[in-house]
Structure 1
Amino acid sequence: MSLTGPISKLQTLGAGFLALGLAGTVGGALGFQHLGGYIPCMLCLEQRTPYYIGIPIALLALASIALKMPAIVTRSLLLAVALLMTWSIYLSGFHSGVEWGWWPGPADCGMVAAPQLGGSLLDQLNMAIPPSCTDAAGRFLGLSFAGWNFVASVIFALVAWICALRED
């Protein structure tokens, strides 16, 4: 296990898989939000942050392979994605636990600022009240969006850790 080991097909395929997988996952979440009408809660939005950071890092890892940069550059970028996806495991696991009632969520989840008097009618119509973090928007095969994000994050983290540290 070394960050200086040579780059192989594993790192190339892994970086490509991570870039596409992370983009597909957050793209799916955005699709459910904007096309499906699912309004994300505060914790849902927070879970997207590792993806927003991880996608360009995975693309940089691909670019570093294409440009034949030193192995430590590519492996360090893959390690950064591994750390981000490990953070995503925590975020999605925490949110899933809140949904299942295993622990309390943030006190301010689902709250919005009170509407200002005298605002335009359009401003008042555009104000959407986000759902509570304790209520799953829906479940598929028993898991909520946060639960499925947990599964995806574990897969992405494992791939990134293996690609960053495994020498062939």
Structure 2
Amino acid sequence: MNPAPNLFLIGPMGAGKSTVGRHLAELLRMPFLDLDHEIEAHTGAAISLIFELEQEAGFRRRESALLAELTARQGIVLATGGGAVLDADNRRLLRERGYVIWLDASVDAQLARLARDRNRPLLQAPDRRERLEHLAAQRNGLYSETADLHLDSVGVGNSMHAAHDLLDLLEARWQRGRAETTA
């Protein structure tokens, strides 16, 4: 058992972190937070506008600052954005302050799930498959390094089924605990 006060979901866009995370939080009777939604609420601006005005680097600074704040809480389920793992300090905070679940999806599954989505700045590319493959090559090693548990969200049914599957896995591997204190 790996005691931790929080559950953090990482993984690529379209893996279901927000929908599965919301169901999982309900099952565990824990508050659910979505990092991208929290960034929008704190800034009053859409993620796409932040990218437009501040580029990806500006967005990542905001993401890191809010991630540090949110992961300091106790007893939450947090869905991160796909790129939150790019920063080494973010990865450290996720590992130190919670139990990290890598919710994964193949590029084919991502393409199907994101087919109508036009709001994701990093998906605004002439060849979406190529972009998703590039992001996977860049990030999958970081997801693996950070995660306590890896679950492929493809083939597990709908998001509620995935949350139940995840809950079953967590019962054997995770217990709610207190965060480690770091000096």
TM-score, structure 2 normalization: 0.23
Q: Which has the higher strand share?
A: 2
Q: Which has the higher helix share?
A: 1
TM-score, structure 1 normalization: 0.24
Pair member with larger Rg? 1
